[in-house]
Structure 1
Amino acid sequence: MKLAEALALRADLQRRIEQLRSRIIQNARYQEGEPPAEDATDLLAEAERGVDRLRLLISAINTTNAAIDLGADGTMTEALAARDTLRLHHSLLTAAADAASPGGFRQMRSELRQIAAFDVADVRTRADEVARRLRELDGRIQQANWLNDLREEAGVIQQDD
């Protein structure tokens, strides 16, 4: 299984567990004399099996990420950390530029004028550069996801849905 497939399976498992959680809550109590719509005990057992599979899958993904060498980007784990911080940096820069941008207009000459604390154009240029680096890094990460196989422990991860 490719790493990208494992990541998709992880997302599916997480969604499935959340759906089961919701169904468990809906059926955890029922009115005396009326049968529940679904057996909450069976749903809980299925959810617990899903959580166990998810733990194994996340472990295999993390082990794989630590072993993949992306050259100048370091390991996949390091590249993912860099991507997360680039996203944060981009968000910070765009929020700062948005906050400093002129937003309103003065209705009267007596109103105080507001002045940007920094050069908005410069901050937007920096944000664009961070966004470019983020796109490039994300492309390399996605490529590696499809080129590298998941390191599985004796086939414990299988798709049975």
Structure 2
Amino acid sequence: MMVAEALIERADLQKRVEQLRQRIETNARYQEGEEPSEDAATLLRECGDVLVQLRRVVTAINLTNATTTVADGRTLTELLAEREALRARHSVLVAAAAAASGSGHGYRQMRSELRQIAALPVAEVRREADQVARELRVLDVLVQRTNWEAVLVEV
């Protein structure tokens, strides 16, 4: 199995756990004289089984990420950490540019009010955000390609 396939399986298992959690909550109590639509104890056991599968898949993904390297010698784990940092940087830059430009505040300044002045060079911050977005796209392509090429470690 490839890492990308394991990531799809992980997402499916996470959705299944959430669905089971909701069904357990719905059926954990019922009114006297009525029967619950499902047995909460059975659902709880089923959820436990799914969580065991999820743990196995996550462990295999993490071990594979830690041992899989790309051409420049970085591990997949390092690439994922870099991607997370770039996403956070991009988010901060976009928010900073928006705040400095006054967009999103939904108010208009009247002549009698004190002028608002941008504390940041908006165009420069936006250029930096665009550069980070490009780096992020390149890195994301590398991560995706590696996920489809790397064979999952057996656990």
Question: What interval of TM-score do these two structures reach, taking the shorter chain for normalisation?
Answer: over 0.9
Match of 1:38 in 2: 38
Distance 1:105 1:35 in 2: 59
Distance 1:57 1:118 in 2: 45
Give 1:1-161 correspondences, 5 Å limit.
1-72=1-72, 74-103=74-103, 104-108=107-111, 110-153=112-155
Letter in 2 for 1:122: E
State the Cα distance separating 1:33 from its structure 2 match: 2.4
Distance 1:102 1:58 in 2: 43
Q: TM-score, normalised by structure 1?
A: 0.90
Q: Which runs of 4+ in 1 moved over 6 A?
A: none
Distance 1:20 1:67 in 2: 33
RMSD value over aligned CA atoms? 1.2
Q: Is the 8 A contact 1:17 1:47 kept in 2?
A: yes
Paired residue secondary structure (1:72): coil
Q: Closer, same or farther in 2 for the Cα pair 1:106/1:33, shift >3 Å?
A: closer
What number of residue pairs does the alignment pair up?
152
Paired residue secondary structure (2:72): helix
Distance 2:98 2:6 in 1: 38
**Sequence identity of aligned pairs in percent?**
55
Q: TM-score, normalised by structure 2?
A: 0.94
Letter in 1 for 2:109: R
- The gaps in structure 1 that reach 5 residues or longer are 154-161
Distance 1:29 1:130 in 2: 51
